[in-house]
Amino acid sequence: MNLDARRYVILAFILMVGVLYTSRLFYMQVVDDQWVLRAQEIAEKRWEITPPRGVLFDRMGKKIVSNRTYYNLMMIEAEIHDLDTAKFAKLIGWTREEVRNRFKEIVRGEGTYYNKNTGKRTANYQKIRAYPFMKELTLEEVARIAPHLDNFKGFHEEVTSMRSYPYANGANIVGYLSEVSQEEIDEDHFYKPGDNIGKAGLERFYEKELRGRKGIRYIVTSAMNNAIESYADGKYDTSALQGPPLKLGVDIQLQAYGEKLLKGKRGCIVAIEPSTGEILALVSSPSYDPNLMIGKRNISMYYPKLLLDPNTPLLPRPLASEYPPGSTFKLLNSLIALQEGVITPEFGAPCNKSVVGCHNHASAGNLADAIKHSCNPYYYAVMRRIVQQNRKKSVFADAEVGLSRWVDYMKSFGLGHTLETDITGLRPGRIPDVAFYDKWYGHHRWAFSTIRSISIGQGEVTITPLQMANVAAIIANKGWYYTPHFVKAIGANGPLPEYRKKHYSKIDTQYYDIVIEGMRRVVYEPGGTGRRALLKDIVICGKTGTVQNPHGEDHSTFIAFAPMDKPKIAIAVFIENAKGGGGLWAAPTASLMIEKYLKRKITEKEREKTIIDAVFSYMR
Amino acid sequence: MRKGDSLVAHMDWALFATYIVMLIIGMATVYSVAYNEDHPNIYEYSEKYGKQLVWLGISLFLGLMVFLIDSDIYRKFSVPIYLFTLFLLVIVLFTPKINGARAWLGIGSMGVQPAEFAKIGTALLLARFISTVNVKQQNIQTVLIANAIILMPMVLILLQPDAGTFVVFTSFLFVMYREGITYDPLILRVINRIPGIRFKSTWVGGHFIPILFVVIMLSVVTLLMSNEVLEFSFLPNVKVPGFYSVVATLLLISLLFLIFLRVVSARRERGRATLVVILGFSMAAGLSSVVNYGFQGLRSHQKDRIELFLGMKEDPNGKDYNRNRAMAAVGSGGFLGKGYREASVSSVRSNHVPESETDFIFCPFAEEWGFAGTFILVALYMFMLVRIIIIAERQRAVFNRVYAYTVAMILFYHFAINIGMNIGFAPVIGIPLPFFSYGGSSMMSFSVMMFILLKLDSQRRDVLQ
């Protein structure tokens, strides 16, 4: 037996292991990159720091949406020892069952993670990590709990920021925040489960501005999930940046006053500054206190109630309710007829009640008086002249041409399509066109007599209160408008570019003077339908409307602007199912709003009291 | 003076230098892994690197002592030394448990592990015994005594219990193999009972130990790989069962052997050598496939038990946790590593890899220095082991040669198991990486072991044989 040769066996054995290990190390460290990913999973964490949301100011610089500190009660399971569930449940005011279920819910809520490398499915939940056990506690609530937390190892409080609305007004303007849905997370990787997102109103429209920029810190963490140090000395870190403050055109005091006026009534008020298109107030009644919609707990408590309320407080009426405009529409038909040259300002027509009902007044001998009296037969005559211009032999073909021309004018007033206002929930309203009637009655099977109700703003026409207010603004401006908008400044910048672009109506300026004179007479001349809007030292130009509708009493509506020269406010008031016409409810409401805005005080105390005290039967 | 001159002149400087280089790298790694910003000074005794530096100093001092003592003393006093280490192994069993084992003697942090020193005692006595044996005339007694020398400390260590050191003691079997201690007397006594059979020696008896080890090692590696799926970043969608890589590696090794043998062996022996290699490969591949498919065919609870034992599976004791974390740390090092003190997974502060300053110190090293570093480390060990075997083979005294082989095999075991468990090739057995891992006992025992070797070697010419 050659024992000396055995040294080679041993040498070969050692060298073989050396070669084997070297090749394995080469494979692991150089060839295969799964270990790098695994190491990153283990040690490198991405920490997101959510900045407080941008805040909102009104036109006077009052903070109307701010952030408030709230607290989450956090839990780290690994640090919990011998938890006295009964005592703990008592402390936080839950039942033991609820405490136990909450633990399960947290674990389930984290979901599972599928590792492609190992083919294993593991729970994301980690015992060593902190999870919110109770969310969104107020300072008062946490002050009651926190002193006793020493007895419950593994629980601690953590600061979080949530919305606060110092003025409980304008809920339908600002909207609310709520937790992101899975679809929203999939769509935009900015969000993580549990993040908040604007769900309605300005919070939603300006979400990208308000949310700011998340700060990202890459850190190396320990097995206990403690941060040890910045990854690569913070080279890749970004700091959190709060969203810019938004300055609104809204006057929160005017808004609050409007909400006060409409208490007990369903309806809307929209006030616009004609020279800028800034919305001064947008009242939707009934409304709700936006502070009810802060945080998951509140939302789950109040949202269902608000949703089921028959008077629909969550509906932003001024944006989404499409009402027939009623007699306010006559202003537009007047302008179109003048522009088309089918009438002159001196055009007169008898108040022939056999065609359509009207109230008792002297026949209008000119356009301004027709507006003052809001004479229905007069506007039938006007509308007939617009629609049937005798350009075609067939009455049907003729109506088609006339209506098309009419529709073009209406569109130039921002009607029949959604305004590009900076809020969500807008509806377009409807200006019936040729295609619409063809669909209803058939091609060439309708003429003026079929569609005549549009001449007085009834029938197929619908427009939203926001559009109505915009019409008032167009008349105040004598032919142009900026798209109504809420936000006049984003941080140091002005409004969005689309609100710096003037839109023109297809009506020449001189025709507005005639209509405006009519609107003055509505308020200031005996026999005018809007006498109750009269103010002593402000000249209001307005137009009433009494809208017949299938839901009950007539709607009361009024559009106006003031003062007559250099208008500062254009307004539309719409009160649903008010007993009495536009002159009775909407006109005085509008005048109070105008006085409030322009004078900051109310002289017509009696008028104010009547409106505020009125509570309609459907609200009881 | 002449004697002192010759001592230094005859010392194996290559081995000594390798040892020193390893100590430096090891110290640097301990400093890096245990680094504490509050006490950045390496001399800070409250930190692990400060303590390790003290151990290092003590070790070098002990080494110097060893070097100054006449080498003959180790042979002469091998029996008392052995008995003394056995005695320590007995009294350690009466100490309170620390981390589940009665392995520590001493007060507080300055404890020592007798098991580490038992290696030296056993090595010396085994060397002494084998040097007295006439290999040509072995009987049952020689086999039994040789095995008893090893088994006694092994049993005591198992009582602690310390599975890692227990396994390391089987390294002595390789030394016995090299020295020709055969299991034939035992095997023949059984086999020759069969009528008509009258063997003088058997191949199995002579090569019992390497055969056993190849079988065990191949089985363990096959089992560890059999649940893995290999993927290559440059070849997407190609998935290779882990078992194939075992066969591929065997094939590679066989080819290397073939080439090696064609160069080394005489012309007439080539045919036979080729046949042996082919036969060896087929048997190894056959064994590997039997283990692999046998394992895959096992019922799930049987499979579970094996997986649990080898640390392939998540278990309450967290063997799988250590292994996965360690492999992630090593694998994420890349080619050039993350840089000194940049280990994000395996630093002591991050604590993702438990024991990263002791048994898993290869992790931070591999993470910091990447393949460039681990290649050099493996190469250093290879160089050291080959160097020790060269030294062993140039000894005139059998005692010296056996002792040198025990040093080589113990170091090799520690190297192979320690690094193996960091790369998924070995089950998680807690043994230190020589000259790297934090800890006084291993540092001292390996240093003393090394210096005894250097001393014996430097005086090899004085021995008349």
Q: Which two tokens stand for residue B61?
A: 């001092």
Inspect the interface and report whether the beta carbons of B331 and A36 lie closer than 8 Å: yes
CA torsion through residues B135, B137, B140, B144, sign: negative
Inspect the interface and report whether the beta carbons of A18 and B389 lie closer than 8 Å: no
Q: Measure CB to CB from residue A26 to each of B324, B371, B379 and give the nearest one.
A: B371
Q: What is the mean pLDDT of residues B33-51?
A: 84
Residue A153 sits in the same domain as residue A257: no
Instruction: State the best of A1, A2, A3, A25 to mutate against chain B, taking most chain B CBs within 10 Å.
Output: A25
Q: Which residue of A has its CA nearest to B213?
A: A13
Note the pLDDT of residue B465: 44
Inspect the interface and report whether the beta carbons of A31 and B233 lie closer than 8 Å: yes
Q: Is residue A281 part of a domain?
A: yes
Instruction: State the best of A20, A32, A127, A219 to mutate against chain B, taking most chain B CBs within 10 Å.
Output: A20
The answer, yes or no, to whether residue A587 has pLDDT greater than 80, is yes
Please name the amino acid found at residue A100: R
Residue A456 sits in the same domain as residue A594: yes
Q: pLDDT tens for residues B77-116? A: 999 999 999 999 999 998 888 777 888 887 656 678 899 9
Q: Is residue A564 part of a domain?
A: yes
Chain A residues with CB-CB distance to B377 below 8 A = none
With contact defined as beta carbons under 8 Å apart, do A550 and A538 qualify? no
Which among B19, B84, B18 has a CA at the least distance from the CA of B446?
B19
Interfacial B residues in 120-179 facing A (CB < 8 Å): 135, 174, 177-179
CA torsion through residues A100, A106, A107, A111, sign: positive
The answer, yes or no, to whether residue B282 has pLDDT greater than 70, is yes
Residue B120 and residue B74: Cα distance in Å, rounded? 10
With contact defined as beta carbons under 8 Å apart, do B176 and B442 qualify? no
Inspect the interface and report whether the beta carbons of B334 and A21 lie closer than 8 Å: no
Q: Is residue A200 part of a domain?
A: no
Q: Which two tokens stand for residue A232?
A: 């690569």
Q: Is residue A226 part of a domain?
A: no
* Residue A286 neighbours by CB under 8 Å, 6+ apart: A263, A266, A309, A311, A313, A619
Could you tell me the CATH number of the domain that includes residue A256?
A: 3.40.710.10
With contact defined as beta carbons under 8 Å apart, do A564 and A516 qualify? yes
Chain A contact present for B390, CB below 8 A:
no
Note the pLDDT of residue B363: 92
Helix (H, G, I), strand (E, B) or coil at B7: helix
Chain A residues with CB-CB distance to B170 below 8 A = none
Q: pLDDT tens for residues B387-445? A: 999 999 999 899 999 999 999 999 999 999 999 988 988 888 888 999 999 988 899 99
The confidence band for A5, taking pLDDT boundaries of 50, 70 and 90, is confident
Inspect the interface and report whether the beta carbons of A32 and B231 lie closer than 8 Å: yes
Q: Is residue A62 part of a domain?
A: no
Residue B191 and residue A618: Cα distance in Å, rounded? 109
- Domain with A555, as residue range(s), is 252-619
Out of A223-227, A270-274, A438-442, A473-477, which region has the weakest mean confidence (pLDDT)? A223-227
Q: pLDDT tens for residues B235-272? A: 777 777 878 888 888 888 888 888 887 777 777 777 77
Helix (H, G, I), strand (E, B) or coil at B71: coil
Q: Which residue of A has its CA nearest to B391?
A: A7
Q: What is the mean pLDDT of residues A192-202?
A: 85
Q: Which residue of A has its CA nearest to B383?
A: A15
Inspect the interface and report whether the beta carbons of B416 and A17 lie closer than 8 Å: yes
Nearest CA-CA distance, residue A28 and chain B, Å: 5
Q: Is residue A448 part of a domain?
A: yes
Chain B residues with CB-CB distance to A25 below 8 A = 330, 366, 371, 374-375, 378, 423
Inspect the interface and report whether the beta carbons of B389 and A10 lie closer than 8 Å: yes
Inspect the interface and report whether the beta carbons of A18 and B345 lie closer than 8 Å: no
Q: Which residue of B has its CA nearest to A12?
A: B257
Average pLDDT over all residues of chain B = 85
Chain A contact present for B328, CB below 8 A:
yes
Inspect the interface and report whether the beta carbons of A38 and B331 lie closer than 8 Å: yes
Nearest CA-CA distance, residue A491 and chain B, Å: 41
Q: Which residues pair with B229 in a beta bridge?
A: B241
Residue A259 sits in the same domain as residue A150: no
Chain A contact present for B383, CB below 8 A:
no
The answer, yes or no, to whether residue A268 has pLDDT greater than 90, is yes
Cα B345 to the center of its chain, rounded Å: 26
Instruction: State the best of B170, B227, B269, B352 to mutate against chain A, taking most chain A CBs within 10 Å.
Output: B352
Query: CA angle at residue A580 from A364 to A281, to 5 degrees?
Result: 95
Note the pLDDT of residue A305: 92
Which among A606, A592, A603, A607 has a CA at the least distance from the CA of A562?
A592
Which among A590, A587, A588 has a CA at the least distance from the CA of A609?
A588
Chain A contact present for B189, CB below 8 A:
no
Chain A contact present for B180, CB below 8 A:
yes
DSSP string, A82-97: S--HHHHHHHHT--HH
Residue B70 and residue A572: Cα distance in Å, rounded? 113
The answer, yes or no, to whether residue A378 has pLDDT greater than 70, is yes
The confidence band for B2, taking pLDDT boundaries of 50, 70 and 90, is very low
Nearest CA-CA distance, residue A45 and chain B, Å: 11
Inspect the interface and report whether the beta carbons of B253 and A14 lie closer than 8 Å: no
Where a domain ends, among A143, A160, A177? Answer: A160
Per-residue burial over B340-368, b if 16 or more Cβ lie within 10 Å, else e, is: eeebbbbbbbbbbbbbbbbbbbbbbbbbb
Instruction: State the best of A10, A22, A45 to mutate against chain B, taking most chain B CBs within 10 Å.
Output: A10
The answer, yes or no, to whether residue B31 has pLDDT greater than 50, is yes
Chain A residues with CB-CB distance to B272 below 8 A = none
Chain A contact present for B303, CB below 8 A:
no
Hunting for tokens 């109070």 — which residue is that?
A: A592
Inspect the interface and report whether the beta carbons of A231 and B344 lie closer than 8 Å: yes
Q: Is residue A241 part of a domain?
A: no
Quote the percentage of chain B above a pLDDT of 70.
93
The answer, yes or no, to whether residue B230 has pLDDT greater than 80, is no
Q: pLDDT tens for residues A29-59? A: 998 877 887 787 777 666 667 788 999 999 9
Hunting for tokens 């032999």 — which residue is that?
A: A393
Tally of domains in chain A: 2
Q: Measure CB to CB from residue B328 to each of A18, A27, A42 and give the nearest one.
A: A42
Please name the amino acid found at residue A109: G
Q: pLDDT tens for residues B175-202? A: 988 888 888 888 888 888 888 777 777 7
Where a domain ends, among A160, A194, A222? Answer: A160
With contact defined as beta carbons under 8 Å apart, do B364 and B32 qualify? yes
Hunting for tokens 């492999």 — which residue is that?
A: B327
Inspect the interface and report whether the beta carbons of B233 and A33 lie closer than 8 Å: yes
Residue B56 and residue B99: Cα distance in Å, rounded? 24
- Cα radius of gyration rounded to whole Å, chain B: 23
Where a domain ends, among A141, A160, A179? Answer: A160
Q: Is residue A307 part of a domain?
A: yes
Domain ranges in chain B? 2-181+312-462, 207-311
The confidence band for A225, taking pLDDT boundaries of 50, 70 and 90, is low
Note the pLDDT of residue B277: 84
Which among A196, A76, A51 has a CA at the least distance from the CA of A132?
A76
Which among B288, B133, B110, B136 has a CA at the least distance from the CA of B216?
B288
The answer, yes or no, to whether residue A127 has pLDDT greater than 70, is yes
Residue A256 sits in the same domain as residue A155: no
Nearest CA-CA distance, residue B85 and chain A, Å: 28
Torsion of CA A141, A143, A149, A154, to 10 degrees: 60
Instruction: State the best of A11, A13, A28, A44 to mutate against chain B, taking most chain B CBs within 10 Å.
Output: A28
The answer, yes or no, to whether residue B153 has pLDDT greater than 60, is yes
Chain B residues with CB-CB distance to A232 below 8 A = none
With contact defined as beta carbons under 8 Å apart, do B179 and A3 qualify? yes
Chain A residues with CB-CB distance to B244 below 8 A = none
Q: Is residue B178 classed exposed, middle or buried when 0-12, 13-18 and 19+ CB atoms within 10 A define those classes? A: buried
